Amino acid sequence: MIVNHISELPLEKCPALVLNADYRPLSYYPLSLWCWQDVVRDVFLDRVNIVSEYEREIRSPSFSMKLPSVISLKTFIKPSEYPNFTRFNVFLRDKFTCQYCGAHKNLTFDHLVPKSKGGITSWENVVTACMCCNVKKGNRLSSECAMYPKIKPYRPTDEQLHKNGRNFPPNFLHQSWLDYLYWDVRLEA
């Protein structure tokens, strides 16, 4: 969903997209968004540039300002090469697809070497599996049940995740963010 007119929205629904000093998002997964309080604080501390604004204003008796919808850092932060190990990022690596049957719904984590057999929760030992396949595999090794994942799990680079991520935009994007993001999504009228 793209929202154009949110002048009446509550303040907590007005986060700002945070860009690095090179005008690329600070992070994609999750998308770097700051709440309005953090944004206003950093504007006053002169740490960020305001790139775009909401219609929504905040006011006090002596002052008013439009809330920034896009800001950029004044100091460049070197992006990390590897994304965080999160549930979402594992699903993204596996393109939100069960690695056993190809289903896209009811997704869970499957430990290739089950926890009960000493398997750890890591990029290399976890794959996306639907609930059915997860239950079916249970506490067995792939060799014990002839269930092999389509990919050998690996630790992806940021770039590999970005490649998959283009197909999975988040469900809320403000119009003013789109110039800085790579999701090619249609605006709602």
- Enumerate binding residues for Zn ion (CB under 5 A): 98, 100-101, 103, 130, 133
Element (H, E) at 109: strand 107-111
Give Rg (Cα) of the chain.
21
The amino acid present at 15, given as its one-letter code, is: P
- Closer CB to Zn ion, 56 or 140, in the complex: 140
Which CB, 101 or 185, lies closer to Zn ion? 101
Closest approach, Cβ 118 to Zn ion, in A, equals: 24
Smaller CB distance to Zn ion: residue 39 or 130? Answer: 130
Tell the smallest beta-carbon distance from residue 152 to Zn ion (Å).
17
Token digits of residue 112? 């290739």
Can you tell me the distance from the alpha carbon of 189 to that of 183, in angstroms, rounded to the nearest whole number? Answer: 18
Q: How far is the CB of 97 from Zn ion (least distance, A)?
A: 9
Closest to Zn ion by CB, 105 or 186: 105
* 44: Cβ contacts below 8 Å, ≥ 6 apart: none
Paired with 180 in beta bridges are none
| Shortest spacing between CB 148 and Zn ion, in angstroms | 12
